[in-house]
Amino acid sequence: MPRRYDPERRQRIIDAAIRVVGKKGIGGLSHRSVATEADVPLGSTTYHFKTLDELMVAALRQANEGFAKALTDSGLLEDTEGDLAADLARLLGEWLGGDRTGIELEYELYLAALRRPALRPVAAEWTEETAERLARRTDPVTARALLALMDGVCLQVLLTGVPYDERYAREMLARVMGGART
């Protein structure tokens, strides 16, 4: 029987991996669970992704696009006249108010890098790229500090269930920026 041409299969496998992690967590991710979710033969997952780490790297890359896209789409990086702390606090609130499953998934994959060294370069890549974007409105050191603070605020909201407080976030972001070029 001839092989069926399926140019979207690799992407469907990545999407399925993201759904599996969303439903079952990192512990539920396997080539078999992804093949079932993607409705493809098991051999397809191992053909496109030799190891589970390769699949997780692809999933993390895709998941990382969430906040980065929101940041870019917001236009706040180009608005040199706006209040950066207020704009970032608003954007964070909008992002956290969106698809919570997607945000949790993004952080779960991101934090998986603590135990899976293959994911660390992808996590670092995301951090560097996002800090570079923020540095358009401030200096590189302050951009990294802002990113660390935003990550901390997001994790607190996700882990404690405490509602996001935009005023608090704005004040803390402004404190980090104190004296920074905006």
Rounded Cα distance, 150 and 37, in Å: 33
Q: What is the pLDDT of residue 111?
A: 87
- Nearest-5° angle of CA 34, CA 39, CA 41? 80
As a whole number of Å, the end-to-end CA separation of the chain is 63
Q: What is the pLDDT of residue 63?
A: 81
Nearest to 146 by CA among 158, 162, 130: 130
Average pLDDT per block of 10 residues along the chain, 182 residues long:
72 93 90 95 94 91 81 84 92 88 82 89 88 91 95 93 95 86 45
Q: Which domains does the chain have, with CATH numbers?
A: 9-59 (1.10.10.60), 64-177 (1.10.357.10)
Q: What is the pLDDT of residue 181?
A: 46
Q: What is the pLDDT of residue 4?
A: 66
DSSP state of 50: S
Q: What are the φ and ψ backbone dihedral angles of 87, each rounded to 5 degrees?
A: -65, -45
